[in-house]
């Protein structure tokens, strides 16, 4: 299902602006041609530079945008049978289709055809290039290309209006999906049936993809993929719902109880909610993410759970999952600094020995006043009666 028309004026305007910004960055870096590669895996933990520049979700294993500093870009698509769909969805009009085995040779021939073989070339592949492609560029191009991944990621960190339109639609799907889960889950159902129902529902709302973890236990050690376990009264059900619209993934993290939550469960979830709000308040432009991590961990450590705020009990306090940039990672080791307009999920998901693992997380956008939730309401400890 395609939610938005290819000729949506906002879509066309934002893609044109993206191209202009990339060209400005190329001039500053001394690059004359950018090759933006896409591998077709569409992972929510990896950027896709070609999709970000063209608006085209590939089905084949390779595509590449050849973007000269002046003149029209070209899009190389694999396999040949996907050319018609590329011409319908891509904002790039010059399309060349080939079979996957001929991909690198076609890139070389297109550069030659356009008189760009001797240009200074940079490549962005989103850190997801297959080994043969990554290692094949010097021979294909006749030079070792510059690495443009970080430069493109830096440009994409601040979401444009098209990205935000898609993101907000994905948030709406995620929230409706969680409401559907609460309304349609009962003790005696298999985990995988509940997860399958949720998957089907978010797809029906227009999600083109959905990364989903969903599991339940009386005392969860973590969240994981659904199994054939039967749900029971008193179970704590965990849901990480991550739909995508036009390649833009967004995530909500939720916790609910089959029955009435106990006072202890309410108390410990409230601690995580306090931690989340502290992190959101601290998350302003120019702030190192390590400061945000410290703000999130403070209420948890104060409550006596400092041991559980580090691996192996906790890996990260949030992360981006953007089509154009995977920055920032909200972890002490990342070294990232927040920028205004960036979007990511912030989640103090946490194992608590008294109650088990709880999930608590919101998609947020960075503003001068701190991180603002993109959801219509902050997550609460749910109850399934």
Q: How many helices (H) and strands (E) does the chain have?
A: 10, 17
146 and 172 together in one domain: no
Instruction: Give the structural domain span for 94.
Output: 9-156
146 and 166 together in one domain: no
What pLDDT is attached to residue 8?
A: 96
61 and 169 together in one domain: no
Three-class DSSP category at 285? coil
For 114-128, what is the mean pLDDT? 95
How far is the C-alpha of 231 from the C-alpha of 236, rounded, in Å? 9
Going by the DSSP 8-state scheme, the letter that residue 229 receives in this structure is: P
What are residue 117's phi and psi, to 5 degrees? -60, -35
321 and 191 together in one domain: yes
Is position 2 within any domain?
Answer: no
Q: In this model, does residue 298 exceed pLDDT 90? A: yes
Is position 315 within any domain?
Answer: yes
Last residue of a domain, one of 156, 187, 219: 156
Is position 368 within any domain?
Answer: yes
180 and 326 together in one domain: yes
Q: In this model, does residue 1 exceed pLDDT 80? A: no
Give the pLDDT band (50/70/90) at residue 363. Answer: very high
Is position 339 within any domain?
Answer: yes
Last residue of a domain, one of 111, 139, 156: 156
> Which residues have C-beta within 8 Å of that of residue 250, sequence separation ≥ 6?
167, 170, 171, 174, 242, 243, 244, 321, 343, 345, 363, 374
55 and 165 together in one domain: no
Tokens representing 261?
A: 């939550």
255 and 150 together in one domain: no
Burial of residue 376 (CB within 10 Å: 0-12, 13-18, 19+) is exposed
- What is the tens place of the pLDDT at every residue in 79-118? 999 999 999 999 999 999 999 999 999 999 999 999 999 9
Q: In this model, does residue 2 exceed pLDDT 80? A: no
What pLDDT is attached to residue 329?
A: 95
Is position 96 within any domain?
Answer: yes
Is position 140 within any domain?
Answer: yes
What pLDDT is attached to residue 234?
A: 97
Helix (H) or strand (E) holding 300: helix 289-300
> Which residues have C-beta within 8 Å of that of residue 251, sequence separation ≥ 6?
44, 174, 211, 240, 241, 242, 321, 345, 347, 361, 363
145 and 180 together in one domain: no
Q: What is the CATH number of the domain that holds 175?
A: 3.90.230.10
How far is the C-alpha of 10 from the C-alpha of 13, rounded, in Å? 5
202 and 242 together in one domain: yes
Q: What is the CATH number of the domain that holds 122?
A: 3.40.350.10
Q: Of all residues in the chain, what percent carry a pLDDT higher than 90? A: 95
Point out which residues pair with 367 in neighbouring strands.
370
Q: What is the dihedral of CA 10, 14, 17, 18, to 10 degrees?
A: -170
175 and 120 together in one domain: no
145 and 269 together in one domain: no
Is position 4 within any domain?
Answer: no
pTM comes to 0.95
Is position 1 within any domain?
Answer: no
- What is the tens place of the pLDDT at every residue in 180-190? 999 999 999 99
- What is the tens place of the pLDDT at every residue in 58-81? 999 999 999 999 999 999 999 999
Give the pLDDT band (50/70/90) at residue 285. Answer: very high
Average pLDDT, the chain: 96
Last residue of a domain, one of 156, 175, 208: 156
Task: Quote the number of domains for the chain.
Answer: 2
375 and 257 together in one domain: yes
- What is the tens place of the pLDDT at every residue in 211-267? 999 999 999 999 999 999 999 999 999 999 999 999 999 999 999 999 999 999 999
Point out which residues pair with 66 in neighbouring strands.
35, 74
């Amino acid at each position: 299902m395609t939610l938005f028309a290819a000729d949506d004026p906002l879509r066309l305007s934002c893609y044109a602006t993206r191209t202009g910004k990339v060209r400005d960055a190329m001039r500053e870096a001394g690059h004359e041609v950018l090759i933006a590669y896409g591998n077709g895996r569409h992972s929510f933990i990896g950027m896709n530079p070609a999709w970000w520049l063209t608006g085209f979700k590939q089905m084949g294993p390779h595509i590449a945008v050849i973007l000269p500093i002046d003149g029209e870009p070209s899009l190389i698509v694999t396999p040949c049978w996907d050319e018609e769909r590329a011409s319908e969805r891509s904002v790039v009009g010059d399309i060349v289709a080939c079979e996957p085995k001929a991909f690198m040779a076609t890139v070389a021939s297109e550069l030659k055809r356009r008189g760009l073989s001797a240009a200074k070339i940079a490549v962005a592949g989103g850190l997801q290039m297959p080994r043969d492609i990554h290692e094949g560029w010097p021979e294909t191009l006749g030079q070792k290309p510059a690495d443009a991944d970080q430069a493109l990621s830096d440009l994409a960190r601040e979401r444009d209006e098209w990205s935000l339109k898609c993101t907000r639609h994905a948030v709406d799907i995620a929230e409706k999906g969680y409401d559907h889960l609460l309304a349609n889950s009962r003790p005696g159902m298999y985990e995988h049936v509940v997860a399958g129902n949720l998957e089907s529902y978010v797809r029906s709302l227009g999600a083109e993809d959905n990364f989903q973890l969903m599991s339940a236990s009386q005392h969860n050690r973590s969240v994981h993929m659904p199994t054939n376990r039967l749900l029971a009264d008193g179970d704590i059900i965990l849901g990480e719902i991550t739909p995508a619209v036009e390649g833009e993934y967004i995530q909500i993290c939720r916790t609910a109880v089959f029955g009435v939550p106990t006072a202890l469960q309410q108390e410990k979830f409230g601690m995580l909610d306090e931690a989340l709000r502290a992190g959101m308040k601290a998350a302003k432009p120019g702030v190192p993410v390590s400061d945000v991590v410290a703000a999130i961990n403070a209420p948890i450590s104060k409550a006596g759970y400092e041991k559980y705020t580090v691996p192996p009990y906790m890996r990260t306090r949030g992360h981006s999952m953007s089509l154009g940039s995977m920055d920032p990672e909200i972890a002490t080791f990342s070294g990232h600094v927040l920028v205004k307009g960036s979007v990511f999920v912030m989640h103090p998901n946490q194992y608590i020995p008294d109650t088990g693992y709880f999930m608590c997380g919101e998609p947020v956008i960075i503003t001068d006043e701190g991180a603002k939730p993109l959801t219509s309401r902050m997550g609460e400890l749910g109850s399934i009666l």
